[in-house]
Amino acid sequence: MKLLHTSDWHLGRSLYGRKRYAEYTAFLDWLSDTIEREEVDILLAAGDIFDTSTPGNRAQELYYRFLCRTSASRCRHIVIIAGNHDSPSFLNAPKELLRAMNVYVTGAATDDIEDEVFLLKNSEGKAEAIVCAVPYLRDKDIRSVEAGESPEDKSRKLLEGIQQHYHSVCRRAEELRREHEKKQDRKIPILAMGHLFTAGGQTTEGDGVRELYIGSLAHVSTSIFPESIDYLALGHLHVPQQAGGQRHIRYSGSPLPIGFGEADQKKQVVLVDFNKEGNLNIQEREVPGFQELRRIKGTLEEILQEIEKLKNQDSSAWLEIEYTGSRIVPDLRTPIEESIESSRMEIRRIRNKYVVDALVSSIREEELLSDLEPDEVFDRCLDHFDIPETDRPGLIHAYGEILENLRQEDLKAE
């Protein structure tokens, strides 16, 4: 039995206003071809399928077209969980219809643990794997709020809630395994899924990965997961990695670079092959680059030289440019845009670090609200009302929790 682990597609995501549907189409086509070529039996997609809780029509079309093609291939089962970017109700809405195609979806935790445990059967109708499809566990799913609790209390309760949830789901999977292993001469692996942030997990600058539980220290230790799990397919972190040094607990990472901070990162999916005795062989398959991203830093002369090199290579890269020179260039954009004329390159962002650092006070007077992140707006409010430094941590913590509650609200739910 062979499975493929992927996650964090973020279908529908833009890059500084540039739509990326061509890249997503190319990736999903490559993924379908890889599933067929590698003779994959089970596909595990560990959350953040879409970039927002209200995906557009193009993103939905890509998703359903991929499911139709893959379910009609030799791949017998597709298991999908929701991530923190996904709308649980949106993913769940067609799940009964998708089940007829052997596509299993878990959008949110429910009171019935059976909703997250799937017994998968092979072509002969025998059990071949049990999947604990644990979605992103929202704060309200795993802990009760008490008046006056400290951030430490909140962290402890969150970690205890996550641990209890996984133990409950895996306990049911273990019962199923014992029941079916008595009937057949082979070990049945328990596969688990999750969308969370493990302690020590590696991230990159600009990858869009945010803390899941605001004001909390709740990074999950791999020690909380039951030992009965044979392979744990995780999502949320975009850098491919083992979690806690455990070979069988992995993040596949995002298949496309989410931002320029991931431009030089090798993207991959994970292939896991189980033999009859239940031993596993783990391999990575590198995802091709479908759109080159380049970050160029330096003086104007250095930037123009680097662009000229790329032009000579007939590059079609998207560029993020940061001017770090020590002299003021009044119209930085004009020479840079002129330098890429008659090329296939696109400039996605130009940042003048000199101006940002030296003239920040004057820019503040002219900036638009849309230029600021929510946290920056709140910081300005604290400054405007002369809030003492000693009072700020508690206010910032409370504001962060309000923002996270808004992010976690399921806009698709009635």
| Confidence at residue 206, expressed as pLDDT on a 0 to 100 scale | 55
Residues 51 and 47: their CA atoms lie apart, in Å, by: 10
Percent of the chain at pLDDT exceeding 70: 86
| Confidence at residue 363, expressed as pLDDT on a 0 to 100 scale | 46
DSSP code for 40: -
Greater confidence (204 vs 207) lies with: 204
| Confidence at residue 242, expressed as pLDDT on a 0 to 100 scale | 92
Span 83-139, pLDDT tens digits: 999 999 999 999 999 999 999 999 999 889 999 999 999 888 889 999 999 999 988
Flag whether pLDDT at 140 surpasses 70: yes
Residues 190 and 119: their CA atoms lie apart, in Å, by: 10
Greater confidence (145 vs 84) lies with: 84
Span 304-333, pLDDT tens digits: 999 999 999 999 999 999 988 878 777 888
Average pLDDT score over residue span 184-205: 84
Span 207-220, pLDDT tens digits: 555 555 444 445 78
> How many other C-beta atoms are found inside a 10 Å radius of the C-beta of residue 229?
23
Least confident of 171-175, 203-207, 252-256, 358-362: 358-362
Span 20-32, pLDDT tens digits: 999 999 999 999 9
Span 47-66, pLDDT tens digits: 999 999 999 999 999 999 99
| Confidence at residue 185, expressed as pLDDT on a 0 to 100 scale | 74
Long-range contacts of 271-274 (CB under 8 A, 24+ apart): 271/2, 271/3, 271/4, 271/5, 271/38, 271/40, 272/2, 272/3, 272/4, 272/5, 272/231, 273/1, 273/2, 274/1, 274/2, 274/3, 274/129, 274/189, 274/230
Residue at 264: amino acid letter: D
| Confidence at residue 351, expressed as pLDDT on a 0 to 100 scale | 84
Q: Which domains, ranges and CATH numbers included, belong to the chain?
A: 2-286 (3.60.21.10), 293-358 (3.30.160.720), 365-414 (no CATH)
| Confidence at residue 247, expressed as pLDDT on a 0 to 100 scale | 92
Average pLDDT score over residue span 229-238: 95
| Confidence at residue 406, expressed as pLDDT on a 0 to 100 scale | 65
Mean pLDDT for all residues in the chain? 86
Residue 236, token pair as written in the block = 């949320």
The residue with tokens 């990695």 is: 241
